[in-house]
Amino acid sequence: MYVGALLGEHADVGEIVAWCDTNPGRIDYYDAQAGGGLPGYSPGRLEEMVRERGVDVVIVTTPDLHHAEMVDRALRAGADAVVEKPLTTDAEGCRRIAAAVAETGRNVVMTFNYRYAPRNSSLREVIASGAIGEVTGVHFEWALDTVHGADYFRRWHRDKANSGGLLVHKSSHHFDLVNWWLGDVPARVYATGALRFYGDRAAAARGLGERPERGTGVTGDPFSLDLNADPRLRALYLDAEHHDGYRRDQDPFAPGVTIEDNMSLLVEYAGGATLTYSLNAHAPWEGYRVTVNGTRGRAELDVVERGHIDLGENGEVVLDPSATPDGAGTDDLRPQRDRLIVQRHWERAEEYPIPDGIGGHGGGDAILLKDVFRRDLRIGGDPLGRAAGHLDGVRAVAVGIAANRSLITRMPVAVGDLDLGVSLEDDENPTTHHVPAAP
């Protein structure tokens, strides 16, 4: 996404000057897109890269467990950082990034692209307007289907040490939305969850039988990913596999899966609201439902990103319908749609208009990229406060980190006991916190 932006629409304000990766095959793939000739550095030479190439910003898109180290080192080397969600995977990573920001004064941009999706921005507008009064509770249900959901169980994400599990890697998007919608911070978390569908034990319990070790070369199996079927995936992973041995197409029912696929949370917010949250990673359709209850009424956001999975003649499907909207199948009973309904006490329900977006992730990607690369060109401030910094990143992962601890202890976890290295109540950007209430 960032390479395409810097080679295309935003080439006039930003220039790629170097690559930093463990795999030279992947460097060569993107360097060819950029015209070739840019230097490649190993992660151990990050500081050297910043110095030699005069780097202003390092864009961090590594596996999650490396985010804190890369952000810390980039800031201390003299560059700002743009980091993909999640900010990091644990409390130690939060402390490391917070210390680097405090000691260097440099800037960290969190790319929470779901904030920029018009459907989510519209719900922020409804809450901020005071139309439903003071929020008392939020119910948030997210369904990942058996294509997109299964993909987390093929990749490095399947090992909780790498990703913090879906409660950190995936759900940090969702927790950030709730934090942002409410203008509040999480205070206490209780979680339950387990691996009930993917992984070798769950598969054996259902009598699934013998499975292929990897998806490439397998036909007729909807849970297998054949890297040869996608030229981009083949170039990035299959052809680059000999450099590091990483397999992008592992079987989701193979041994080694240590993350959960069914999760439920109860989150208490500092301001008094309560969040009930669930994530299922093996649903037959993909999308989410959000219900916000307030003292004056209720708002309901219903999003269908893929109503069902359309298997082609060769079993090929789009992996992530939210990132590639054209890949969503049509469905009469569950059509692809975004709908926001607002109903005040003693009144009829009304549909709140949602403007069109641009590109993937609910139309948020293109708008996010403008904020990442052209924020200084804004005529005025963003009344929705969509731009996010490292403190927003900490607030989002705090819920997942607390939830992971709760899964172990089977007890509620106070976010204040996590020692995240920063107070969640601090305001690095006043527009991202404390939603103004209408009279």
CATH topology of domain 2-112: Rossmann fold (3.40.50)
Q: Taking 60 as the threshold, does the pLDDT of residue 396 lie above it?
A: yes
Bridge partners (DSSP) of residue 289 are: 141, 302
Q: Show Cβ contacts of residue 332 under 8 Å, excluding neighbours closer than 6 positions.
A: none
Q: Which residue has the higher pLDDT, 429 or 194?
A: 194
Span 119-124, mean pLDDT?
Answer: 97
Pair of tokens at residue 410? 């089977």
**Predicted confidence (pLDDT) per residue in 127-178, tens digit:** 999 999 999 999 999 999 999 999 999 999 999 999 999 999 999 999 999 9
- ∠ CA 305-311-313, nearest 5°, is 145
321 pLDDT above the threshold of 80: no
pTM of the model as a whole? 0.93
**Which pLDDT does position 99 carry in this prediction?**
98
CATH class given for the domain over 114-198+257-357+389-432: alpha beta
Report in angstroms the alpha-carbon separations of 249 from 12, 147, 216, 230: 37, 13, 7, 12
Instruction: Evaluate if residue 317 carries a pLDDT over 70.
Output: no
Domain boundaries, the chain: 2-112, 114-198+257-357+389-432
3-state secondary structure labels for all residues of 297-311: EEEEEEEEEECCCCC
